[in-house]
Structure 1
Amino acid sequence: MYNSTVARLTYRALLGRRRALILFALPALLLVISLLVRTLTGADDQIAADVLGGFALATMVPLIGVIAGTGAIGPEIDDGSIVYLLAKPVKRPTIIFTKLIVAIGVTIAFSAVPTLLAGYILNGNSQQIAIAYTAAAAVASVAYAALFLLFGTLTRHAVVFGLVYALVWESLFGSLVPGARTLSVQQWALALAEKIGGGDLVSSDVGLSLAVALLAAVTVCATLYAGQKLRGLTLAGEE
């Protein structure tokens, strides 16, 4: 199911100069903010949770997911170069699965790892806050990568739709409208963070069992549907 050639091409596309600058900028900003906060306020568990929850998980992770997920396939569809890949003797599900693995790896590397470092900078992992938010960032990365990879197969405006979802639905409606929180990847990921961290510093509006089921469902369904859309694109190109 995994093709090394497809993976290499995808990594090269995602880590090109322009995308790499954006990918590095967000984690760097998180670490700078964490250093400033620690210097000015000292180690404070509540502030650490606020920074990791408010910036790392709510903003940085979905934005990196948008860049990695849509960038794994969207540009190839936009410029038509996907035709050359589809002409190779590689199964369509293999292409999608490989691109998903690459998108997940890039998203985790540029979001979960910086979240862990920021957590240790902010409060030295007191009350397991750094580990809790790192785990949340990692599982959210999987769902975001699958979801935004699907966006990349559905529309040429995948980045726009991804940003609308990440910034409007997740950040705005997800924080202001109680009912919308149940359908938020961020809240599903927070359920795991709450289980690991415990206490009152990390909380989610979704139970852990439901959150795990929804994360798995979104990841699997988005991946399968993306494969179906890619198969349809192939058929259209062959007709």
Structure 2
Amino acid sequence: MYNPTVARLTYRALLGRRRALILGALPALLIVIAVAVRLLNGADDHAATEILGGFALASMVPLVGVIAGTGAIAPEIDDGSIVYLLSKPLDRRTIITTKLLVAIGVTLAFTTLPILLAGFILNGNSQVIAGAFAVAAAVASIAYSAVFLLLGTVSRNAVVFGLVYALVWEALFGSLVPGARALSIQQWSLAIAERIAGPGADITSEVSLPAALILLLVATGLGTWYAARRLGSLTLAGER
């Protein structure tokens, strides 16, 4: 279910100079914010929770997921180059699984490590806040990669729809509207951070941990399955 050639081509596409700069911009901003807050306020658990939860998990992780998830396949479908993969004797589930693993790897690299570093800068991992949000970001990265990879197979406007989801649903409605919170990958992963950090860290999620784990598994599994099915329905002309 993994093909090294497909993986190499996908990594090359995702980590080209232009896309790598875009991917690195938000993590760099997170580190800058963390350093500035630490210099101004000193070690602050509340500031760490607000920045890692309100900016990193709510905005940075889904945006990086959009770039990596859609970028792993949508450009190839749009420009027709996917025809070269589809014409090879490769199972399309293998193509999707390989691209998903690459998207997950890229998303993890550009989210979990910066979040962990920012957390240590902000409060030295007091109350295990840095570690809790890093684990939450890792889990969220898997789900986002699957969802946005699927989006890349079903729409020519995958990036636009992905940004709308990340910025409007996750960052806005997912943080402010009670009903929307229960249908947010951010909130599902936040439940994991809440459990890891414990009650003293002031991390709360609208979703219970068992429900969050089930929803994360369902989103990842269904996203991967339907992306493979959708790719299987494409013609060798690369048409959706």
CA-CA distance at 1:237 after TM superposition: 6.0
Separation in structure 1 between the aligned mates of residue 238 and residue 218 of structure 2, nearest angstrom:
30
Residue matched to 1:118: 118
**Cα offsets for 1:166-216 (capped at 9, x unmatched):** 011111111221011110000000000000001251110000000000000
CA contact (8 A) 2:65 2:141 kept: yes
Matches within 5 A, 1:40-59: 40-59=40-59
Secondary structure at the counterpart of residue 2 of structure 2: coil
Gaps of 5+ in 1: none
Matches within 5 A, 1:1-239: 1-200=1-200, 201-234=202-235
Q: Which amino acid aligns with 1:172?
A: L
Separation in structure 1 between the aligned mates of residue 238 and residue 110 of structure 2, nearest angstrom:
35
* Aligned CA distance change for structure 1 residues 91 and 212 (closer, same or farther; 3 Å): same
CA contact (8 A) 2:77 2:238 kept: no
Q: Percent identity?
A: 71
CA-CA distance at 1:235 after TM superposition: 6.8
Gaps of 5+ in 2: none
Separation in structure 1 between the aligned mates of residue 174 and residue 51 of structure 2, nearest angstrom:
17
* Aligned CA distance change for structure 1 residues 124 and 156 (closer, same or farther; 3 Å): same
CA contact (8 A) 2:80 2:237 kept: no
Secondary structure at the counterpart of residue 204 of structure 2: coil
CA-CA distance at 1:236 after TM superposition: 7.1
Secondary structure at the counterpart of residue 43 of structure 1: coil
The more displaced of 125-134 and 168-177 is: 168-177
Separation in structure 1 between the aligned mates of residue 26 and residue 172 of structure 2, nearest angstrom:
19
CA-CA distance at 1:89 after TM superposition: 1.2
Secondary structure at the counterpart of residue 233 of structure 1: coil
TM-score, length basis structure 1: 0.98
Separation in structure 2 between the aligned mates of residue 64 and residue 24 of structure 1, nearest angstrom:
9
Secondary structure at the counterpart of residue 234 of structure 2: helix
TM-score, length basis structure 2: 0.97
CA-CA distance at 1:234 after TM superposition: 3.7
Q: Which amino acid aligns with 2:174?
A: G
- Give RMSD over aligned pairs: 1.2
Q: Which amino acid aligns with 2:13?
A: A
Separation in structure 2 between the aligned mates of residue 45 and residue 199 of structure 1, nearest angstrom:
13
The more displaced of 101-110 and 228-237 is: 228-237
